């Protein structure tokens, strides 16, 4: 019977992982700004959630989606506390492509987010790009709601400053 419980728990986790992977990947990409790092971060997150899932006898985590999002954000912050985590080697400089305003906007957003500290970036991504409530973001990051609002306000100002001319030069459809 123990094996039956483990199989059911594994099946439930697999269903959960399939259902949440896209949202986790979206958040990870917004945090990392890099496809490969985002994929690694989602895998690391799902592995940590799985360990907790199994420990709690078949997925008795109160809110698995929120728990997974918290694990993702904290794992990203932890990796960016280490020096040298911002290295981005490339084999060759890419060719110039066709002018794409959406690509320019995405690049400008990524550059503006890259300029932020990891905790500020996590606050903005969770609050505005993932549309999470202040209380949820505060709980995930282990800071007060006031700190989330304060960091949001200051980080948004830095992003707006970072966009500066690049945002006004874009021709949006």
**Least confident piece of the model among 4-13, 14-23, 124-133:** 4-13
pTM given for the model: 0.55
String of DSSP letters for 53-67: HHHTTSS--S-HHHH
pLDDT of residue 111: 83
**pLDDT for residue 154 is more than 80:** yes
Cβ burial 29-42 (10 Å sphere, 16+ → b, else e):
bbbbbeeebbeebb
Highest mean pLDDT among 87-91, 94-98, 137-141: 137-141
Q: Is 109 left (phi over 0), alpha (psi -120 to 50) or beta?
A: alpha
Q: Which domains does the chain have, with CATH numbers?
A: 1-82 (1.10.1740), 100-173 (1.10.10.10)
Q: How far apart are CA 65 and CA 19, in angstroms?
A: 10
Q: How far apart are CA 48 and CA 63, in angstroms?
A: 15
Q: How far apart are CA 81 and CA 97, in angstroms?
A: 34
Local confidence band at 27 (pLDDT 50, 70, 90 cut-offs): very high
Local confidence band at 19 (pLDDT 50, 70, 90 cut-offs): very high
């Amino acid at each position: 019977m123990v094996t039956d419980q483990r199989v059911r728990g594994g099946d439930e986790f697999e269903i959960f992982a399939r259902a949440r992977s896209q949202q986790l990947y979206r958040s990870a990409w917004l945090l990392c700004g890099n496809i490969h790092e985002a994929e690694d971060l989602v895998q690391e997150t799902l592995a940590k959630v799985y360990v907790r899932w199994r420990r709690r006898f078949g997925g008795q985590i109160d809110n698995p989606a929120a728990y997974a999002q918290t694990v993702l954000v904290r794992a990203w912050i932890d990796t960016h506390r280490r020096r040298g985590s911002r290295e981005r080697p490339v084999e060759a400089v890419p060719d110039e492509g066709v002018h794409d305003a959406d690509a320019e906007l995405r690049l400008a957003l990524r550059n503006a987010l890259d300029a932020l500290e990891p905790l500020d970036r996590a606050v903005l991504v969770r609050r505005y790009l993932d549309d999470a409530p202040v209380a949820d973001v505060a709980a995930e990051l282990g800071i007060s709601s006031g700190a989330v609002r304060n960091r949001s306000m200051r980080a948004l100002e830095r992003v707006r400053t970072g966009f500066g001319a690049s945002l006004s030069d874009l021709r949006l459809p």
